[in-house]
Amino acid sequence: MSYNSPVPSGRSPRLRRSRTQSWFGGVCGGIAERFGLSAGLVRLLFVLSIVLPGPQFLVYLALWIVIPRD
């Protein structure tokens, strides 16, 4: 019995900081490219999330350091 994989062969898209959609560090642009979203939408969601209590800015800085550059 042979099974055909529904996932195309090749590498899966990786999360990388964007060079083309970069304002400060490319984190929001990289997330947008990885998930097929608009970079402006991801930036807007990040800015809106700052209103909520939590360590959003620290998470952004950590992602800036951890995610490799495209």
Do the beta carbons of residue 66 and residue 14 sit within 8 Å?
no
What are the tens digits of pLDDT across the range 33-44? Answer: 999 999 999 999
In a domain, 5, yes or no: no
The total number of structural domains in the chain stands at 1
Residue found under tokens 């642009």: 29
What are the tens digits of pLDDT across the range 13-30? Answer: 788 988 888 888 899 999
Look at residue 70 and tell me whether its pLDDT is greater than 70. Answer: yes
Do the beta carbons of residue 33 and residue 18 sit within 8 Å?
yes
Q: Which of 35, 34, 25 minimizes the C-alpha distance to 60?
A: 25
Total-model pTM: 0.73
CA distance 26 to 43: 10
In a domain, 51, yes or no: yes
In a domain, 14, yes or no: no
In a domain, 10, yes or no: no
Give me the percent of the chain exceeding a pLDDT of 70. 83
38: containing domain: 27-66
CA distance 63 to 7: 28
